[in-house]
Structure 1
Amino acid sequence: MDYRLEKDLIGSKEIDNSKYYGINTARALENFELNNKAVNMDFIREIAVIKKAAAIVNIKLNTLTEEKGNAIIKASEEVIDGKFDDQFKVSAFQGGAGTSTNMNVNEVIANRAIEILGGQKGEYEIVHPLNDVNMSQSTNDVCPTALRIAAIKRIRKLANALAELQEALQIKENEFSDIIHLGRTQLMDALPIMVGQGFGAYAKAIERDRWRIYKVEERLRVINIGGTAIGTGLNATNKYIFMVTDVLQDLTKLGIARSDFPIDTTQNCDVFVEVSGLLKACAVNLMKISNDLRLLGSGPRGGFAEIILPMCQAGSTIMPGKVNPVIPEMVGQVSMRVIANDTAITLAASSGQLELNAFIPLIVECLLESLELLEKTVIIFKEKCIEHIIVNELNCKENLERSTALVTALVHHIGYDKASDLAKVALKEEKSIREVLYDEGTYSKEEIDKILNPFELTSPGIPGK
């Protein structure tokens, strides 16, 4: 195997010459050998966008030659396009506040730029990872800025997916608008409700999630690029600070803006907690809906069986014919993961000290994972579950008629105590409330049927009056 020798503060190290990364990345691979997730590629690509923007500005400011700067720009574009994805294997859980990730990108871009200029990897006198690729930057302004940009792009995708899920639920609301079934409170028989009304409630919850997540983008638009190490801007000129934000706006097509106090934006991560909190709220709603669907679809003989979920795959290795609600179960598990990620983000953000938060790599991993998981989950939930749900109208009717909950419609006619007595009779004689009323003869069949009319029972007012 062909090797090249690279040096750093600690000493020298042989680097596989086929690798575009250098000694800093090699040490990180050894130090954080967790054999788990590598750094999120969305984050890597947005760091490369920042490197491209910095090179563009430094060329304009004559602090970087056009030849060298253009090579950096081309190499950055290749990273953005995914050409070097296999060179980014550092663990998402790393010490150093993201320095290993920033250096991974710096080294890959530098070595590729060296090749573009006709040199060999490791000839850093041609293009240097720090002096040239990282010019006027620090890990501490690059990483938060890249996270904000990556998160905004993911938020837009998630908001769109939620809008489509909301629409799918509204379609079911209309489709099931005239099918009545038994409502439950605390899992016990309660008042009747239209199946469509239940789906309408789900749609409203998702509508709130969509709007909250769409709006939270505003919180992420303020970036600290140009603040360098602690937000004071040392080693970045005022011209660079203003120009690099303008170039990033142009490259990302996002309404990002320079922070008016980068010291705050560098050290404080509460914005990411706020965003994560809204993702948690969305996860809570998705879990509630998925759990409801599992209950309503339980059976097919021993459960509620009031809705029929699409059959996606065989459910058991030992019980023939069993089909599990795998899509709602997946939704529940993703929701749990998002809630767990929110806890991790909260702990990481609160663990920052003085001028920097060393735990931003964990925030990056958890926030971007939650955004991506939610987006994909919402799409799958809509396409493989919600759109294909049908109602078992016979079971809905039978469960409702067997329940004593219908007696509630009589409270304004005969009083609470008398209604309770009727419920006791129905339970003792194993009859429906309707049958007990027919037998009692206090009201005519027409009057009883009017009082127990499904549309009377599921809308405001006194049934039968």
Structure 2
Amino acid sequence: MSRVERDSLGEKEIDNDRYYGIQTLRAKENFSISGQRVHPLLIKNLGYIKKAAALMNYEVGLLEKSIAEVIVKAANEIIEGKFQDDFIVDAIQGGAGTSINMNVNEVIANRAIELLGGKKGDYTIVHPNNHVNMSQSTNDVVPTAIKMTTINLLAELIEELNELRDSLKEKSLEFDDVVKVGRTQLQDAVPIRLGQEFKAYALVIDRDIGRIQSSIDSVRVVNMGGTAIGTCLNADELYTKGIVNKINEISGFKLLQAKDLIDATQNNDSLLEVSSHLKTCAVNLSKIANDLRLLSSGPRAGIGEINLPAVQPGSSIMPGKINPVIPEVVNQVSFQIIGNDLTITMAIEAGQLELNAMLPIVAYNLFESIKILKNAVNTFTNNAIKGITANELRCKNLVENSLSLITVLTPHLGYEVCSIIAQKALKSGKNIREIILEEGYLLKDELDKILNPYEMTKGGIVAKELLINKRKNQSISD
């Protein structure tokens, strides 16, 4: 069985079991782009908005009680996750989101008609535009729903980032006594504790959490009530004043109505801010992932200072080979988020005059970035970070044989002498300690005090008292 629906462009047959209407069907036919439907949370949040609008329109006397009640009931069902098969428009669509707004309007209208005992498509009973979309425009409804969905998704991401940060902190304590070679430009520099490296990782993730959290505050500001261009045309003054509070009341959000609705309709820089912070976080994660790949490289012919958990065989041809697949997937997710951020940047820039019509692609990429970042952080934490172990003997041997130890001797012997010692060690294959003792630059007990790798990681001048005594003796002899 089917029904015929009409719009300004003509007629279409629609399966009578379906709750969507003619505008939704046209959008389905026109926008076969990504193969992905609109995010379910966006649908849910549109349900909250439609419910709040119906309640406010009834309160200001514009909507009959019986119609308001069935719109609220239908919206509640959408909020509960019903009718998902009827939300069929592609996530990427022209029209600034009109298609998804009308998809929701039509589903609510037809379900409301059904609740009143009518037949789907009989919009004389409940109309998608006249009743469900009363006092609204796609241009305030969809941006508000996008921001609500962004807040939902960011909360989940922050939970994962908190766990990652805490896991890195735990590793920093576990590895606090493991001294290793610090490196700059991939060359030996000076000793550092493995715990200090992991503490730095935890701190940068903590900053990312702070940045993302601050962006949520920006996204809370919405243009709901502004209708088409922010001038509030066709919306009762009391409706405009109360709609955001009504949404908060029924949804638990803490949205704020923009002080200037025209500005908030024209400009969507808060969404760009979110994307920018996601990109920053992705870059930081990728840097950490790169470090872990380098530090675990080998296991015998590379750096090999840490051991990553073995989560799966690494080669179809080389038996026993284990690859750093978790850091690798974090790298790849980061690349995708960086690309998404460029798309979002261009889409936000493409707004013209009173409206940005590119919000569907902004939402598509922003939601994807949050989702894949959350998933990447989860697998990074649970399948890599928590299982990392230190190869302490390897770290110790590399430190003892590294030319980087010469740096700590420069206050005691001078830069020129230390350069000579380093060159001799490099040519002979001997370590720094052997050269110094052979050449008689320092006594063994003096050298033992200075070449203490752990003390080198604390900063300052190692064995400062030796340096002071030496200068006192030189002063007396002079």
Q: TM-score, normalised by structure 1?
A: 0.97
Provide the rounded CA distance (Å) in 2 between the counterparts of 1:207 and 1:134.
Answer: 42
Cα distance, 1:198 vs structure 2: 0.2
Which SS does the other structure have where 1:320 is aligned?
A: coil
> Does the CA contact (< 8 Å) of 2:34 and 2:91 recur in 1?
no
Does 2:149 correspond to 1:145?
no
Letter paired with 2:443:
S
Cα distance, 1:446 vs structure 2: 2.4
Does 2:186 correspond to 1:175?
no
Which SS does the other structure have where 2:139 is aligned?
A: helix
Does 2:187 correspond to 1:219?
no
What's the % identity of the aligned pairs? 52
Match of 1:47 in 2: 46
Which SS does the other structure have where 2:447 is aligned?
A: helix
Q: How does 1:157-306 map to 2 (within 5 A)?
A: 157-306=156-305
Cα distance, 1:263 vs structure 2: 0.7
Cα distance, 1:453 vs structure 2: 0.6
Query: Structure 2: where are the runs of 5+ without partners?
Result: 465-478
Does 2:476 correspond to 1:451?
no
Provide the aligned length of Structure 1 versus Structure 2: 464
Does 2:394 correspond to 1:381?
no
Provide the rounded CA distance (Å) in 2 between the counterparts of 1:326 and 1:104.
Answer: 41
Provide the rounded CA distance (Å) in 2 between the counterparts of 1:30 and 1:317.
Answer: 44
Match of 2:344 in 1: 345
Provide the rounded CA distance (Å) in 1 between the counterparts of 2:463 and 2:389.
Answer: 31
Q: How does 1:323-402 map to 2 (within 5 A)?
A: 323-402=322-401
Cα distance, 1:158 vs structure 2: 2.3
Provide the rounded CA distance (Å) in 1 between the counterparts of 2:410 and 2:61.
Answer: 85
Letter paired with 1:208:
R
Cα distance, 1:40 vs structure 2: 1.8
CA offset digits 1:127-184 (Å, max 9, x no partner): 2111111111000000111111111222223223222221111111111001011111
Does 2:71 correspond to 1:72?
yes
Match of 2:468 in 1: none
Letter paired with 1:155:
L
Q: How does 1:408-423 map to 2 (within 5 A)?
A: 408-423=407-422
Cα distance, 1:82 vs structure 2: 1.5
Letter paired with 2:346:
L
Cα distance, 1:269 vs structure 2: 1.3
CA offset digits 1:76-129 (Å, max 9, x no partner): 122122222222232222110000111111111112222222222212222211
Provide the rounded CA distance (Å) in 2 between the counterparts of 1:373 and 1:457.
Answer: 40
> Does the CA contact (< 8 Å) of 1:221 and 1:257 recur in 2?
yes
Match of 1:99 in 2: 98
Match of 1:133 in 2: 132
CA offset digits 1:378-410 (Å, max 9, x no partner): 222212211111101111122222321111111
Provide the rounded CA distance (Å) in 1 between the counterparts of 2:440 and 2:400.
Answer: 18
Which SS does the other structure have where 2:395 is aligned?
A: helix
Letter paired with 1:159:
I
Letter paired with 2:194:
V
Which SS does the other structure have where 1:409 is aligned?
A: helix
> Does the CA contact (< 8 Å) of 1:159 and 1:211 recur in 2?
no
Over 3 Å counting, the alpha-carbon distance change for 1:355 and 1:413 in structure 2 is same
Match of 2:108 in 1: 109
CA offset digits 1:409-433 (Å, max 9, x no partner): 1111111111111111111111221
> Does the CA contact (< 8 Å) of 2:60 and 2:236 recur in 1?
no
> Does the CA contact (< 8 Å) of 1:43 and 1:147 recur in 2?
yes
Provide the rounded CA distance (Å) in 2 between the counterparts of 1:136 and 1:236.
Answer: 4
Letter paired with 1:156:
A
> Does the CA contact (< 8 Å) of 1:38 and 1:90 recur in 2?
yes
> Does the CA contact (< 8 Å) of 1:97 and 1:140 recur in 2?
yes
Match of 1:22 in 2: 21
> Does the CA contact (< 8 Å) of 2:34 and 2:92 recur in 1?
no
Provide the rounded CA distance (Å) in 2 between the counterparts of 1:114 and 1:436.
Answer: 92
Match of 1:119 in 2: 118
CA offset digits 1:278-333 (Å, max 9, x no partner): 11111111111111111111111222111111111122222221222121111111
Provide the rounded CA distance (Å) in 2 between the counterparts of 1:376 and 1:364.
Answer: 18
Q: How does 1:454-465 map to 2 (within 5 A)?
A: 454-465=453-464
Provide the rounded CA distance (Å) in 1 between the counterparts of 2:435 and 2:219.
Answer: 62
Provide the rounded CA distance (Å) in 2 between the counterparts of 1:79 and 1:319.
Answer: 52
> Does the CA contact (< 8 Å) of 2:178 and 2:193 recur in 1?
yes
Cα distance, 1:31 vs structure 2: 0.8
Letter paired with 2:166:
E
Letter paired with 1:463:
V
Runs of 4 or more, structure 1, over 4 Å off, are none
Letter paired with 1:22:
G
Decide which moves more: 68-77 or 98-107: 68-77
Match of 1:438 in 2: 437
> Does the CA contact (< 8 Å) of 2:4 and 2:14 recur in 1?
yes
> Does the CA contact (< 8 Å) of 2:399 and 2:453 recur in 1?
no
Match of 1:312 in 2: 311
Decide which moves more: 9-18 or 226-235: 9-18
Cα distance, 1:440 vs structure 2: 2.6
Does 2:2 correspond to 1:11?
no
Structure number, greater radius of gyration: 2
Provide the rounded CA distance (Å) in 2 between the counterparts of 1:287 and 1:231.
Answer: 40
Query: Structure 1: where are the runs of 5+ without partners?
Result: none
Which SS does the other structure have where 1:37 is aligned?
A: coil
Match of 2:83 in 1: 84
Letter paired with 1:234:
L
Cα distance, 1:451 vs structure 2: 0.9
Cα distance, 1:35 vs structure 2: 4.7
Provide the rounded CA distance (Å) in 2 between the counterparts of 1:156 and 1:442.
Answer: 60
Decide which moves more: 16-25 or 411-420: 16-25
